[in-house]
Chain A
Amino acid sequence: MSEALKLTDFRVSFPTLSGDVQAVRGVDHAVNQGELLAVVGESGSGKSVTFLGLMGLLPNSAVIGGSAVLDGVELVGADPKVVRRARGKKIAMIFQDPLSSLNPVQRIGVQIVEMIQSHQDMPKRAASTRAVELLDMVGIPQPDQRSLQYPHEFSGGMRQRVMIAMAIANEPAVLIADEPTTALDVTVQAQILEVLQRIKTELNAAIVLITHDLGVVARVADRVEVMYAGRPAEMGSIDALFDHPSHPYTVGLMRSLPSSDRARLVPIPGAPPNMLAPPSGCAFRPRCPHAAPVCAGDVPSLRPFGDLETACVRAEEIAAELIEAVR
């Protein structure tokens, strides 16, 4: 299994009138082909910005640093044309709200054809046929008729399938799904996740699923990365993470989820950090029940901890407490 996408110390900041907002403060991870990596975190944790940034979809004012290697090509600091050519071909993205993410006055087929023709030298008729095939692949009934319809004539779940069909048109190595199920009903959610899994196996693609919903993660992820305040907090296989989380934030997330064996929901106290001036040391410190003076030192990086990687400096000391908390 090779690394389809590798990020090293990836950073994104936005200059504003009040100062620089450091949205992403050093992300290291890799996604392999045929693997589904779930990136979990609250709003503002930087999970979407990371991938929008490496794809070159952020406003020009954004400052991007570090390294992001996609299929052997460095994207950070690369010529915008290089990045643009990779978009849609080597890496594709599907967005949270499929209704506003599709051009409302263009037929679905036309929009998929645009994706195809942007990277392949295919005449329109052949591309249209291919578009219909793609719709069929994601499970849309009567794809030839549907291909002539407009986005508002589809239901939410169908629209998301359309977005997926569009994204895989050129068989990208990496597919980023940014909260694809957040706007959908629970039953439809399951269907979409199933489609994503099928793509993972059929195309051997690397899929990054961005979400704040641990339930979704539990269903489909191979590996999970938990992000907080623009940095990774913890990373590992899904079984390991759910069984013995090593970061207090992960524990906090799990405890705030409804579950059949949990009597009460325990929210994480405090508010998300101000990214204009993040706390020194570990950003979770102000809200962490296990915080200690050592946490205010250097900004912690991911380090191996058993079968996980963790950014908690006190992981060893508090391991037992954490496991107890999620039982």
Chain B
Amino acid sequence: MIAADELVGITVASVSPRKQAYLRFKEHKAAVGSVFVLTVLVLAVLLTPLTARYGVNEPVIDIKVAKNQFLPPRSEAWFGTDDIGRDIYSRLLYGVRVSLLIGLASAIISVVIGVAVGAIAGLKGGLFDDIMMRVTDIFLAFPILVSLLVMRNVLGAISWMKPIIGELSSVRFLIFLFAIFGWMGVARVVRAQVLSMREREFIEASRAIGAKNGHIIIRHMLPNSVGPILVALSLSVVGAIISESTLSLFGYGPNVGAGSTSLGLLVGGSAKAARAGYWWLVVFPFAALLIITLCISFIGDGLRDATEPKASGGRA
């Protein structure tokens, strides 16, 4: 008699979920490519004194020597110059740094608030949940620009909040403004996750040994929601960056003072520049904006694929 446990099938080595997610992410070529591009970009932006060729406000050529305004791209200024002769390339590096800061900061605040609200809403349900859903529904029903502008004014008019969120149009103010919009998307995602996990056995088991709600959220539900939360985070960052640009376009951009600039401001000046035909003031800021947002979007897509495997390919 042949040993009954002679295995004829394929043996599968067990792989941890984290490793599995990592492997799945690697399959997503656009996402992997985006990680590289984004890393290069972030490094270039962080190492600005080294990577920039001029200061933020430094004219490329001394005006006494030669005309320096609105020069198209050339060897002294790779991306051309603006209305007072400053190098667009360098200004973009400094500007992207500011905008990435705004985007990340507001996204992180969004996630913190959103996770808290979403988890409680999902777990407790009831009135809190109802109200939260209604409020976010209402906000999301309006055109974003309208909500942004109205909210901006309302926040600006509430005087007792000034110490926390800063003056109207300051960078701090914008971070808080975007955070107020960002948390709703995150909260919905977290709430959905909590709802789907609430009835699962491992949560029941946890309760059966007396775990409290807070413990359940932190130790069990959040680690299992990392994927969707990361995706929501990436969406928040992209949203903040684009919102900054949109606001700047109509003159409501960040007030960074004369010594600085932001990507949004550079993009914001593109409308007028286009009409005058200064294409480098349009194309390069747009390219920077698109590269950043596309990279983050692809990474978000990759994260989604990595953490939510759907059977059979082709469903991005």
Chain A positions within 8 Å of B, measured between CB atoms, are 269-274, 276-279, 285-291
| B164 smallest CB distance to A (angstroms) | 52
Q: List 14 A-B contacts (CB under 8 A).
A: A270-B4, A270-B5, A270-B8, A272-B9, A274-B8, A274-B9, A277-B8, A285-B2, A286-B2, A286-B4, A288-B2, A290-B1, A291-B1, A291-B2
Q: A276-B10, A285-B2 are in contact. List 15 more A-B contacts (CB 8 A).
A: A269-B4, A270-B4, A270-B6, A270-B7, A271-B7, A271-B9, A273-B8, A274-B8, A274-B10, A278-B8, A286-B4, A287-B4, A289-B1, A289-B4, A291-B1
How many cross-chain pairs have Cβ atoms below 8 Å apart between A and B? Answer: 33
**What is the 8 Å Cβ interface bit string for chain B, positions 1-21, against chain A (1 contact, 0 not)?**
110111111100000000000
Residue of B nearest to A272 (CB): B9
Chain B positions within 8 Å of A, measured between CB atoms, are 1-2, 4-10
Q: In the complex, which of the residues A273, A288, A289, A291 contacts B9, with contact meaning CB atoms closer than 8 Å?
A: A273
- Bound complex: CA A288 to CA B5 (Å): 10
- Bound complex: CA A126 to CA B6 (Å): 61
| B283 smallest CB distance to A (angstroms) | 43
- Bound complex: CA A272 to CA B8 (Å): 8
Q: Determine the chain A residues whose CB is within 8 A of the CB of B7 once the complex forms.
A: 270-271, 286
- Bound complex: CA A177 to CA B292 (Å): 56
Q: Determine the chain B residues whose CB is within 8 A of the CB of A290 once the complex forms.
A: 1
Q: Determine the chain A residues whose CB is within 8 A of the CB of B2 once the complex forms.
A: 285-286, 288, 291
Q: Determine the chain A residues whose CB is within 8 A of the CB of B5 once the complex forms.
A: 269-270
| B232 smallest CB distance to A (angstroms) | 31
| B11 smallest CB distance to A (angstroms) | 10
Asked if A279 and B8 make an inter-chain contact with CB atoms under 8 angstroms apart, the answer reads: yes
- Bound complex: CA A269 to CA B7 (Å): 10
Q: Determine the chain B residues whose CB is within 8 A of the CB of A272 once the complex forms.
A: 9
| B102 smallest CB distance to A (angstroms) | 46
Residue of B nearest to A293 (CB): B2
9 A-B pairs closest in CB distance = A269-B4, A274-B9, A286-B6, A291-B2, A286-B8, A271-B9, A279-B8, A273-B8, A274-B10
Q: Determine the chain A residues whose CB is within 8 A of the CB of B1 once the complex forms.
A: 289-291
- Bound complex: CA A291 to CA B1 (Å): 6
| A268 smallest CB distance to B (angstroms) | 9
Residue of A nearest to B9 (CB): A274
Q: Determine the chain B residues whose CB is within 8 A of the CB of A287 once the complex forms.
A: 4
Residue of B nearest to A278 (CB): B8
Q: Determine the chain B residues whose CB is within 8 A of the CB of A276 once the complex forms.
A: 10
Q: Determine the chain B residues whose CB is within 8 A of the CB of A273 once the complex forms.
A: 8-9
Residue of A nearest to B2 (CB): A291
Residue of B nearest to A270 (CB): B4
- Bound complex: CA A290 to CA B9 (Å): 20
- Bound complex: CA A271 to CA B7 (Å): 7
| B3 smallest CB distance to A (angstroms) | 9
Q: Determine the chain B residues whose CB is within 8 A of the CB of A269 once the complex forms.
A: 4-5
Q: Determine the chain A residues whose CB is within 8 A of the CB of B10 once the complex forms.
A: 274, 276
Residue of A nearest to B7 (CB): A271
Residue of B nearest to A289 (CB): B1
Q: Determine the chain B residues whose CB is within 8 A of the CB of A286 once the complex forms.
A: 2, 4, 6-8
Q: Determine the chain B residues whose CB is within 8 A of the CB of A279 once the complex forms.
A: 8
| B13 smallest CB distance to A (angstroms) | 16
| A292 smallest CB distance to B (angstroms) | 8
Residue of B nearest to A290 (CB): B1
| B75 smallest CB distance to A (angstroms) | 52
Q: Determine the chain B residues whose CB is within 8 A of the CB of A288 once the complex forms.
A: 2
| B101 smallest CB distance to A (angstroms) | 45
Question: Most chain-A Cβ atoms within 10 A of its Cβ — which of B5, B7, B9?
Answer: B9
- Bound complex: CA A35 to CA B10 (Å): 39
Residue of B nearest to A229 (CB): B8
| A290 smallest CB distance to B (angstroms) | 7
- Bound complex: CA A271 to CA B11 (Å): 11
Q: Determine the chain B residues whose CB is within 8 A of the CB of A274 once the complex forms.
A: 8-10
| B2 smallest CB distance to A (angstroms) | 5
| A11 smallest CB distance to B (angstroms) | 20
| B7 smallest CB distance to A (angstroms) | 7
